[in-house]
Chain A
């Protein structure tokens, strides 16, 4: 059983946002830069993406969970450890896997990826504000877990031909762990997280087509890897 209420949790988000201000602005700007880069460039080199995502996961682990939420929740440091580990995996991948390409695929997989990232950046704070306890008790990409998970899943869906499985393991695990909080506290907008995880698994590992030829984009990706 969770030792805090819906109201306490959202009040905590507000207190947390104030105490780390202007981290939310910086994180969202970085997220917007990634989104813009994905959209403007046919192919995005991985280093910038993995640095931003890796730093976001490290921040959520060390600052959100271990430093702040630990006051309310005894298990927060354990969640923090998972986020730290994922942050390190992302940074290491950015350092060691330069062949990975994020491609602006206009197939279903790419569109879903963009939707998740846009929702994580723009809609999550709005949904929290409307369905929670109001401004500033909201969550932002890069400093709070759920929008960070969602943005990461969306970004990984742009990897062609497909994201390495080791990058997805922990985001998918924590996506389903959040179900417990979502269920117990009835946080409506958080149902998107496990849904996004299922969509990510489907689109990355079980999907081979799309509106403008997903096969073609995979083919290009494979050619790129060979090249």
Chain B
């Protein structure tokens, strides 16, 4: 019996016995509400605050404009995300209507206490930095932002200064800078060495591991939290490997599907604080959130995971 069928059976028994189960039943089976005390969290080095290692990206998936059906679907994703123990939701002004849709979803939820809001400044113009921060507060419908990052290092000097000013006012809690697709790592390294930032965001997954050479060790040394974006290379990993079998030994690390394989590889890296997969499908969300629980691979198992993928 695998873990999913075990949980399904357990959920059925729990429901029969009148115990608490999640509602509504998912995919034709009742599932047990997760034990949030058993989920994996990691500390933000600059504060010691613990955050869940699986977050939620919103690029493309939450950019649904004003369509009510699609907005409600995003709200459902957010609800399931928080129910499964999620915390960080990451967005950007570059992602079109995503921030507004997050605000719509938060407004619809009864509670989003575990929300760790992460968004970005994305503009070349220094004067637009404060405008975008204020816009984000309005769009998300929140009073403070947990993490404000400079998107793709765009005019990072001035924007980091702006973010620090907002930190001093208590409107922003953490600062960060982002890159993606493995670009501008040298400049990112210089920022990590010379600037005071709480977070960096970069691309890291089972195939894109360049960050292991210099950036991740540096983040460890400098006490900087690391967010891994493009954990699935925007679906490419599923297209590439999704039809191949998972190795038998993944049961040792409580992996049931490729999503959890990819995510556990990422967040088990000691330098990685959080991965932010994006999805618009509840089934995928639940697969992703499964990586928040169960055994994590150790160094030897991580090496085997990378080797297995490379062998396919």
Q: Please list the residues of chain A having a beta carbon within 8 angstroms of any beta carbon in chain B.
A: 1-5, 7-8, 11-12, 14-15, 71-74
Contacts and interface: CB of A to CB of B under 8 A. Distances in A.
18 contacts: A2-B60, A3-B59, A3-B60, A3-B96, A4-B60, A8-B65, A8-B67, A11-B64, A11-B67, A11-B70, A12-B67, A15-B66, A15-B67, A71-B65, A71-B66, A71-B96, A71-B97, A74-B96
Interface of B: 59-61, 63-67, 69-70, 94-97, 234, 280
B182 to A, nearest CB: 14
Interface SS of chain B: loop
Most buried by A among B64, B69, B95, B234: B64
Contacts of A73: 96
A11 B95 CA distance: 17
A71 to B, nearest CB: 5
Nearest to B93: A74
**Which of A1, A4, A71, A74 has the most CB atoms of chain B within a 10 A radius of its CB?**
A4
Most buried by A among B59, B66, B94: B66
Contacts of A71: 65-66, 96-97
Given A5-B60, A8-B60, 9 more contacts: A3-B94, A4-B60, A4-B64, A5-B63, A8-B64, A11-B69, A14-B67, A72-B63, A72-B96
Nearest to A14: B67
A8 B69 CA distance: 10
A194 B63 CA distance: 27
Contacts of B280: 5
A72 B60 CA distance: 9
B94 A8 contact: no
A66 to B, nearest CB: 14
B96 A5 contact: no
Contacts of B96: 3-4, 71-74
B67 A4 contact: no
Contacts of A5: 60-61, 63, 280
